[in-house]
Structure 1
Amino acid sequence: MDNCGKTGAQAAARLSVAPMMDWTDRHCRFFHRRFSKRALLYTEMVTSGAVLNGDRDRLLGFDRQEHPVALQLGGSEPGELAQAVRVAMEYGYDEINLNVGCPSDRVQSGCFGAALMRTPALVAECVQAMMAEAGAVPVTVKCRIGVDDQDPEEVLPDFLQRMSDAGVKTVAIHARKAWLQGLSPKENRDIPPLDYDLVVRMKERFGHLTIAINGGIPDLTSAQALIARGLDGAMIGRAAYHSPAILGAVDRDIFGDDVAVVTGAEAVTAMLPYIERELGRGARLNQITRHMLGAFQGMPGARQWRRVLSEGAHLPGAGPELVERAMAGVSPRQEEARKSA
């Protein structure tokens, strides 16, 4: 479990939870942090224009308990991205990440995200402008292996070389192409075939880069297997969101800490004071609990847990007592069995 002297976000990248639009907001991240102290958590992608023109506290604010946390920015204009980083620095993020992988229509229309795989020179300009404002905070890139008719065997090495030349030290690679023509964003998460071997070869070729792999990783066992092939880290997305309890063993199994596995019940219980506080600040219960529905995935009582929260969390006056009532039907014996596994 040696991290070879890496510190901060670079070391935390050994296991990270991917940035996911409409999912990894501050409530989601606070919940995931109840399971793991060590995993690197990402914000949803925030565009540089939104940072400069929107409600900055709403877009960028986070609880200090979320550390280590990375901000993912979307954009393609170096000057605007630099200004966004300047603003973001006031909030204390551990890493600033540039999105070069999202295939959504919104991103394509703005000519950034995965579309930037076609213009690596522009990406290099962007990251250099961002670094000039980030100081000691690392600027990283999350990319695909290519887009549309590009040959990943040619495109990805060139892209990584350009990133390295620009000063980037950490890249997270989603091991699929993005088809910007013909596939929806949802289809782009499943249909293009995974090529883990290519990403492993890129690590062998660019040994000085910290390279984390993303795409279709269902559990910690799979993450460990990929790291064992020489990669520096694994990034889990939908599996961590839909079954967040898999994060409960991250500190023990991925980082090698001598700690107990955190169960879903323990994480949910730890959320109760946060829920009370956030409701007092004007939040609605369902804004928080929508990220907690998978806490007991695969366990007896999980369906009741989801039903009680789904039916009641949006109602006026709903609070922590509803969460406790929903949790009452979950089998504690199976939770304990999972913890000792």
Structure 2
Amino acid sequence: MIPSHGNPEDPGPGLYAGRVLAVAPMMDWTDRHCRFFHRQLTRRALLYSEMVVADAVINGNRERLLGLSPEEHPVALQLGGSDPAKLAQAARIGEDFGYDEINLNVGCPSDRVQSGTFGACLMKTPALVTECVAAMKDGSRVPITVKCRIGVDDQDPETALDALADGVFAAGADALWVHARKAWLEGLSPKENRDIPPLDYERVYRLKKRYPNRFIGINGGINTLHEAQNHLDHVDGVMLGRAAYHTPGILAFVNAELFGDAGEVDCMAVIDAMGAYAARHIAQGGRLAHITRHMVGLFHGLPGARRFRQILSTDATRPGAGPEVLQSALAAIDFDRAGKAA
């Protein structure tokens, strides 16, 4: 048994009224099905969409790009772009879709975002980021936030991060999330940029000291809730990325360990909720694998976890696969042996 997400009808205080634990925006991973799943494990985490380009929001299939379930809240939409007017329009569209926050990506180092002059390369043009945030804030009823790196390429992180923070806070940004690594736009792949540039948590701590009354969150290489708790002694929020995705069971402990909530998650209830969700998705023409691909790491480290992964990775991908596959996978977990080992 693992700690409970509590009452989903009680949204709690404002997004940035206290400490925050967030699940990072991750391309190809944090889609609406992933977010619904993560919400079954914790009501406390702030969830993020994948990055969506402002032009796509304005001109594309909005339901496909922005659709979300009421159960996902609180959930933030991350936008990519560098045109203040387009970002403002996309932010309004996202707000109308029901997102609780709109976040501007100033941290992604992929070739695709560089060719579009947004993402991490915007660290080089803090004045433009300031314009973008000001435009997004104009008329917004939800928080407008920014996610950035500590710098790019040969920038000095001391001056680069301060310049970015000074601008976005002057423009009214409600929070700044900082991935505590540089991004190397030349010479490293996006994957290498997640691991090779050294982490510099102290640089983010210094930014918080500079802005004691502004929300500063930290991201990058944080793998456990114990580490998250340590960071919360220095900053206001912690963002988990790959650790939350590959071992989602970690999210089930967020409520108790970081927020002191009582209660336990019933693993059977999580699977039941995902089964009912999958049935609705399949009835609308979707496939079970769209959902189960996010769930394979749920019981990481428990007896039977390997078989659980195998069933979801094979049976769930077969034509006509239905929610019963989830029950079959759950049966592979030996909870009695896990309890005795604990």
Equivalent-residue separation in structure 2 for 1:43 and 1:13 (angstroms): 20
Equivalent-residue separation in structure 1 for 2:266 and 2:164 (angstroms): 40
SS at structure 2 position matched to 1:182 = coil
- Give the Å deviation of 1:169: 2.4
SS at structure 1 position matched to 2:16 = helix
SS at structure 2 position matched to 1:10 = coil
Give the 4+ runs in structure 1 shifted more than 6 A.
none
Match of 2:221 among 201, 212, 216: 216
Relative to 1, partners in 2 of residues 1:18 and 1:97: Cα closer, same or farther, differing over 3 Å? same
Q: Which residue of structure 1 aligns with residue 6 of structure 2? A: none
1:310 is aligned with what amino acid? S
Match of 2:179 among 174, 181, 199: 174
Identity across matched positions, percent:
58
2:112 is aligned with what amino acid? R
SS at structure 2 position matched to 1:98 = strand
Equivalent-residue separation in structure 1 for 2:245 and 2:237 (angstroms): 18
Alpha carbon RMSD of aligned pairs, Å?
Answer: 1.6
1:211 is aligned with what amino acid? I
Q: Which residue of structure 2 aligns with residue 56 of structure 1? A: 62
Matched, 1:81 2:113: no
Alignment of 1:17-96 (within 5 A): 17-96=23-102
- Give the Å deviation of 1:92: 1.1
Gaps of 5+ in 2: 1-11
What are the Cα deviations for residues 93-140 of structure 1, in whole angstroms up to 9, with x where unaligned?
A: 110000000001111110100000000000000011111142x20100
Alignment of 1:132-151 (within 5 A): 132-134=138-140, 136-151=141-156
Relative to 1, partners in 2 of residues 1:233 and 1:336: Cα closer, same or farther, differing over 3 Å? farther
Count of matched residue pairs: 331
Relative to 1, partners in 2 of residues 1:334 and 1:71: Cα closer, same or farther, differing over 3 Å? farther
Gaps of 5+ in 1: 1-5
Match of 2:157 among 152, 161, 168: 152
Relative to 1, partners in 2 of residues 1:272 and 1:171: Cα closer, same or farther, differing over 3 Å? same
SS at structure 2 position matched to 1:103 = coil
Q: Which residue of structure 1 aligns with residue 230 of structure 2? A: 225
Equivalent-residue separation in structure 2 for 1:133 and 1:24 (angstroms): 28
Match of 1:320 among 311, 315, 323: 323
Equivalent-residue separation in structure 1 for 2:159 and 2:298 (angstroms): 42
SS at structure 2 position matched to 1:99 = strand
Matched, 1:293 2:296: yes
What are the Cα deviations for residues 212-232 of structure 1, in whole angstroms up to 9, with x where unaligned?
A: 10000001111001102x210
SS at structure 2 position matched to 1:213 = strand
> Is contact 1:8–1:68 with CA below 8 Å preserved after alignment?
no
Q: Which residue of structure 1 aligns with residue 262 of structure 2? A: 258
Relative to 1, partners in 2 of residues 1:21 and 1:309: Cα closer, same or farther, differing over 3 Å? same
